[in-house]
């Protein structure tokens, strides 16, 4: 079934992950992308554009060509190593001042990309308007990264977007891949939108619960290079699942708690001491400007974030005694150090 309706009108309800099959950089691909990013009201959209094969300026030009000068509510371009110039339109634009650019190092790997996206989506949590995400493109990612690790990345990202209520679509050019590769990727998404030969769209919903569970269970655990020290790159295995790492860093307060645990030499803390450390760090981050009481912070740490870290084995949390024991792990701390550098400079 195909027709010429706009792509959002054809989505089956309830699916947050979309695989977009269309010729790369064509008018149909661009139109479908901006339809999904902008939604019914572009001015209320929170747009996250992840680009692996185009500059931020090029992705911005697609929005302007298809949507015009309507500004999104908020927008971030995650530039995976294409080199956003300091004077570029996307970085410094009078017409689109809401756009931020997170420029990753050249040859950024999947861990770098995952952490940047998770931080960006975490900062948008609770923001007014619908958050939408574009990954452009899987075709480029398949050329740059190991396929099994990329499958783990896609699963982790789709899980995170579903949990945060983000509507995400990932581009792929079917002409660049064999049928087996496309068939492997289809079950990872709730919806597949495919450009038809007659110019319309074929939209189908896939039941991911029936997908081969090996995609989720056998992907190797992520490792990667912490790029905070280019002179001494560090490659270490991470003993947590990919989804767990993303979940750990997707919340700004939990990130602050992890920063505090990593930075201090002690492994045993009272809950009161951790509250003090997190309070000091949050108030030192200008753009957060915390307007909350100590009681609210105590409830948040004691009932949400410390139990989550305990569940994942990062700490042992004795709520009755008010004691926390931190289990240091070099691999996780490598990730935390990178995220802190990414967020705070």
- pLDDT single digits (tens) 106-156: 777 888 888 889 888 888 888 889 999 999 999 999 999 988 889 988 988
Report which of residues 127 and 215 the model is more confident about.
127
Q: Find the mean pLDDT for residues 289-305.
A: 84
Q: Find the mean pLDDT for residues 212-217.
A: 27
pLDDT at 50: 95
Computed over every residue of the chain, the mean pLDDT equals 79
Fold of 238-344: Arc Repressor Mutant, subunit A (1.10.10)
Q: Which of 248, 249, 188, 198 is nearest to 219 (CA)?
A: 188
Q: State pLDDT tens for residues 166-177.
A: 999 999 999 999
| CA–CA distance, 290 with 255 (Å, rounded to integer) | 15
Does 219 score more than 80 pLDDT?
no
Please, what's the b/e burial string for 194-227 (b: 16 or more CB within 10 A of its CB; e: otherwise)? bbeeeebbbbeebebeebeeebbeebeebbbbbb
Does 325 score more than 70 pLDDT?
yes
Does 288 score more than 70 pLDDT?
no
The residue ranges of every structural domain in the chain are: 7-220, 238-344
Q: Find the mean pLDDT for residues 307-312.
A: 90
Q: Pairing between strand 74-79 and 46-51?
A: parallel
Q: Find the mean pLDDT for residues 192-206.
A: 84
Q: State pLDDT tens for residues 39-67.
A: 888 999 999 999 998 888 888 889 989 99
Distance of CA 200 to the CA centre of its chain: 30
pLDDT at 269: 92
Please, what's the b/e burial string for 125-160 (b: 16 or more CB within 10 A of its CB; e: otherwise)? eeeebbbbbbbbbbbbbbebbeeebbbbbbbbbbbb
pLDDT at 137: 93
Report which of residues 11 and 231 the model is more confident about.
11
Q: Find the mean pLDDT for residues 298-326.
A: 92
pLDDT at 216: 25
Report which of residues 239 and 28 the model is more confident about.
28
Query: How many CA atoms does the CB half-sphere of 99 hold within 13 Å?
Result: 27
pLDDT at 14: 53
Q: Find the mean pLDDT for residues 90-106.
A: 66
pLDDT at 302: 93
131 beta partners: 46
Local confidence band at 281 (pLDDT 50, 70, 90 cut-offs): confident
- Percentage of residues in the chain having pLDDT higher than 70: 78
CATH class of 7-220: alpha beta
């Amino acid at each position: 079934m195909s027709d010429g309706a706009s792509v959002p009108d054809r989505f089956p309800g309830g699916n947050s992950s979309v695989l977009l099959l269309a010729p790369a950089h064509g008018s149909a691909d661009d139109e479908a992308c901006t339809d999904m990013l902008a939604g019914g009201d572009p001015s209320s959209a929170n747009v996250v554009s992840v680009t692996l094969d185009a500059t931020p300026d090029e992705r911005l030009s697609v929005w302007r060509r298809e949507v015009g000068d309507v500004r999104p509510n908020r927008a971030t371009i995650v530039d995976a190593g294409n080199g956003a110039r300091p004077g570029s339109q996307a970085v410094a634009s009078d017409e689109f001042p809401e756009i931020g650019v997170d420029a990753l190092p050249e040859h950024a790997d999947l861990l770098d990309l995952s952490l940047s996206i998770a931080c960006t989506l975490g900062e948008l949590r609770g923001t007014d308007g619908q958050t939408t995400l574009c990954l452009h493109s899987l075709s480029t990612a398949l050329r740059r990264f190991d396929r099994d690790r990329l499958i783990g990345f896609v699963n982790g990202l789709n899980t995170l977007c579903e949990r945060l209520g983000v509507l995400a679509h990932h581009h792929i050019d079917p002409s660049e891949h064999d049928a087996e590769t496309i068939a492997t990727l289809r079950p990872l998404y709730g919806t597949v939108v495919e450009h038809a030969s007659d110019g319309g769209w074929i939209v189908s919903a896939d039941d991911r619960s029936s997908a081969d569970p090996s995609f989720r269970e056998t992907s190797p655990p992520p490792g990667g290079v912490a790029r905070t020290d280019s002179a001494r790159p560090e490659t270490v295995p991470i003993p947590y699942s990919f989804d767990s790492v993303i979940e750990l860093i997707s919340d700004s307060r939990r990130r602050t708690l992890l920063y505090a645990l990593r930075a201090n030499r002690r492994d045993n803390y009272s809950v009161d001491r951790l509250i003090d450390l997190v309070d000091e760090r949050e108030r030192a981050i200008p753009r957060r400007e915390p307007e909350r009481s100590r009681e609210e912070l105590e409830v948040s740490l004691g009932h949400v974030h410390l139990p989550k870290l305990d569940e994942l084995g990062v700490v042992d949390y004795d709520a009755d005694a008010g004691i926390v024991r931190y289990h240091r792990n070099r691999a996780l701390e490598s990730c935390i150090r990178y995220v802190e550098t990414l967020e705070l400079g």
